[in-house]
Amino acid sequence: MGRRDLSQERRAAILDAAAECIRRFGLEMTTLERIAAQAGVQRPIIRHYIGNRDDLLAALIEHLTERYRRDYETLAAKLSQRHRVQAMLKFLFAGDFLAQPDEDAVIDALLAAAAKNRRARNCLRGMYEAFENTCYTEFRSAYPNASPRRVRAIAYAVMCLAEENASLIRLGFPAERSAAARRAAELLIGSLAPLKKTPGTKQ
């Protein structure tokens, strides 16, 4: 029997170590040496499995994006199609999306780096585009007769609501504010449904 491929496990361990170092020391003080020590590997192992520091930042963004996507899909897979939009809103405004302050701290550090690092900026944009596309796909499926352009606009608006709500809750705003943000998202999404005709009105 051949040897088990450990590359994915090694990459995940290194990326988890990188996230922990960013949380503890900040992005500027997170070096490959510190990441290697946190992961329990030699620095050349990082270069072998991932690459240089810019490569590592890009891989970390992809790693976090995949984790959020996997968490949401695990939730949505348990539900029928008619309940998937509500599952998404629960995830964004009352679920794991709000309950990961450590990962939020890493994202905040990466956002700050994006102002100076084009590659980090492009990777983060890709992360948010994936988020927006997930919203778009769910809303488009729930409201197939709605204009794709309008669905895209609502997907973007809901993403912005969820992201800013998570940031403000982390700053200490009362948790019940999330319910108000979720209600605003529900109103936006509900606007994708066709208007009901009032009896006696002409088409």
Domain ranges of the chain: 7-51, 62-190
- Amino acid letter, residue 69: R
pLDDT of residue 203: 45
pTM of the complete model: 0.75
Q: At what angle do helices 53-76 and 84-94 cross, to 10 degrees?
A: 130
- Fold for domain 7-51? Arc Repressor Mutant, subunit A (1.10.10)
CA distance 67 to 106: 14
Mean of the per-residue pLDDT values of the chain: 83
Phi then psi dihedrals of residue 69, to 5 deg: -60, -45
Buried b (16+ CB within 10 A) or exposed e, 109-126: bbeebbeebeebeebbee
pLDDT of residue 79: 64
Q: Give residue-wise pLDDT tens across range 82-99.
A: 688 988 898 889 876 766
- pLDDT band at residue 126 using 50, 70 and 90 as cut-offs: confident
pLDDT of residue 187: 96
Which residue did the predictor score with more confidence, 158 or 75?
158
- Cβ distance 159 to 132 under 8 Å? yes
- Cβ distance 56 to 32 under 8 Å? yes
- pLDDT band at residue 46 using 50, 70 and 90 as cut-offs: very high
Does position 17 have pLDDT exceeding 80, yes or no? yes
Note the CATH architecture for domain 62-190. Orthogonal Bundle (1.10)
The domains spanning 7-51 and 62-190 adopt the same CATH topology? no
pLDDT of residue 114: 77
